[in-house]
Structure 1
């Protein structure tokens, strides 16, 4: 978040100039000061959520998932359209339901999948797949292909950890490829972005502009507020902030940002190696998959290795809904994985637990 504070300060002038009009001229640091307020609120949400008992975190996440799913259903009716996409609801404060649904989705799916320990015959995979299909359909109506892919990836990781047979994984993978082909055929937004990606872009394409901006600073960058290419880059403070970091602070700092994300993901996975509770393993894995997956997609888009998705860089990009929701997700991760360090623990063995349940 400290990196994000500096990065938004670097990107704010570019976005302020692009969004200023003859009637309203935005201050160069307009987005920077607003971002600081969102970060402060996000940190409060993070620390409060992290102190919540695990059982309360689970119950609250299930209730939040239901509320955000309902809000997602209302987006096509009451949603606010921005840049050709209807993803936001304005209730005095504009927010994006899918952002808050992501952490709640991971915890709720973990709760449902953990029912398998009580009844191995319960169709938990089918139940979670039905919920996922509904969410994916609602996201595609916005349109929001990037978030849909993120939800599907998170669910797939969780069901594999829950014991989904590998042959079914292959079937699901084939179905996913078929759905992407269908999206390319019938979904104009996806087709245009994939075509632009495969075609290599043009000098006026935003993904190509992002790559040029990223490479413009070389290894060490031009220096804070000295970048020139960022001034022509759309969404410099949100979707393409990684490119602004590359131009003004250099590719070495971009590498440092990647290392920080990898360190967070690896720290969570290392923490789960000695965990014995299935719900904790699934919930933490889902939350970190969403976090790491979003960072991976954003960085790959900026490197022109992935079609444009309109997805922020976690905890770095400017954003209200994004910052608060990500801080809430990290708070949940801390709450769910907390335990007494003086308690002894053994490695988790799903097969042993299932055999024990059958015997009982």
Structure 2
């Protein structure tokens, strides 16, 4: 037998050490869901391997349902406005296509690039929101929320939400570093400024949504419960002040608290449509609410779904939203990077709560808010901003290496 000669000074490999290192890697993967890096792997295969495919599939299904409901809800409005029967469906397909492209491209980016672009987008949307009282329009709806571009309109608050969630998460994470900035204070100041500008429009729904997203991130970052309770009290006090000083806000609250629903109002039409739909609906194209509701294709699209397709389709829509939120939060629980965890949590919870508010208004569980159902309602700004927000969420929830378990135990994670 030939003996293997080794160079002087070369140590014999320690088999036990190799097995221990391998075991540590397996343990890390079991605990954190880590996936080892593959050097030189192309972008597309790596993106597909680490992506939450179920959540992306749920988003695509929601968009398909939105087009289906748009075919039912928008022709009456197009006829009233003198357009082709499928004018709004074609526009929804166009803006939805842009939203899907934005979602896919954003999900392929690195978290650092997403954060940088989100900061720039937030600054632009913040300035646009501040200039709305001067250059904005209300389109006869009593709230100055849009910029009219002639061929389309832009609502800055829709693009501000995902940018703010990322910026606030960045500030929260930076504040926990040694000698870090007072990120919590800065993020709170930004949140208050945004809420005040939204209330001035008035847009209380978006203001509550921004405040909720910030509060969720602050809770995950370790906010004291007493402070959160105090903030809830301030919100209630602010609602009382808004009720006494804003006729728009008071009218909606009074309409919600009134036990008798006026059948000629939007809530009355929506409530009756949901009641008529029953379990399986009245049939495709047989619904009547779309002829009475001016916002049947936007804020009250779920009423069209309930009337024509019944409770079955509504439950499917709820399950799709719940799947996206729950799967995202479960994946974020394994994330060790504080910024990714906070930003992803803020985006996921805001996405889910917006859907819950829209459907809650339609069934009269909440006061009227004027908020779209993500990826289902018609609206260019809502669709594109939603695509960007979900793209950020898919980017932050991609499976990535989480480091060695020993680093975490030694406090170096």
Q: More displaced, 235-244 or 223-232?
A: 223-232
- SS of alignment partner, residue 87 of structure 1: coil
In the alignment, which residue of structure 1 is the partner of 2:173?
114
In the alignment, which residue of structure 2 is the partner of 1:187?
246
CA contact (8 A) 1:95 1:321 kept: yes
CA contact (8 A) 1:276 1:348 kept: no
CA contact (8 A) 1:273 1:347 kept: no
CA contact (8 A) 1:215 1:251 kept: no
Which of 72, 78, 81 lines up with 2:138 in the alignment?
A: 81
- The structure-2 alpha-carbon separation of the partners of 1:214 and 1:277, relative to structure 1 and needing over 3 Å to count, comes to same
- SS of alignment partner, residue 5 of structure 1: helix
| C-alpha distance after superposition, 1:215-273 (max 9, x if no partner) | 22211012221111321112000000000000011111111111111111101011112
Residue-pair matches, total: 348
CA contact (8 A) 2:74 2:290 kept: no
d(CA) in 2 for partners of 1:331, 1:348: 30
In the alignment, which residue of structure 2 is the partner of 1:147?
206
The answer to whether the aligner puts 1:71 opposite 2:128 as a matched pair is yes
Which of 151, 156, 175 lines up with 2:215 in the alignment?
A: 156
In the alignment, which residue of structure 1 is the partner of 2:308?
248
In the alignment, which residue of structure 2 is the partner of 1:233?
293
1:337 CA displacement: 2.5
Could you tell me which runs of 5 or more consecutive residues in structure 2 were left unpaired when the two chains were aligned: 1-62
1:84 CA displacement: 1.5
In the alignment, which residue of structure 1 is the partner of 2:6?
none
Which of 58, 75, 99 lines up with 2:158 in the alignment?
A: 99
Rg larger for:
2
- SS of alignment partner, residue 85 of structure 1: coil
1:340 CA displacement: 3.2
1:52 CA displacement: 1.4
1:39 CA displacement: 1.1
Alignment of 1:35-54 (within 5 A): 35-54=92-111
CA contact (8 A) 1:213 1:230 kept: no
In the alignment, which residue of structure 2 is the partner of 1:306?
366
The answer to whether the aligner puts 1:319 opposite 2:376 as a matched pair is no
1:90 CA displacement: 2.8
1:88 CA displacement: 0.6
- The structure-2 alpha-carbon separation of the partners of 1:348 and 1:198, relative to structure 1 and needing over 3 Å to count, comes to farther
CA contact (8 A) 1:275 1:345 kept: no
TM-score relative to the length of structure 2? 0.80
| C-alpha distance after superposition, 1:281-313 (max 9, x if no partner) | 100001111110100000000001111100000
1:77 CA displacement: 0.4
1:51 CA displacement: 1.2
1:211 CA displacement: 1.2
Could you tell me which runs of 5 or more consecutive residues in structure 1 were left unpaired when the two chains were aligned: none
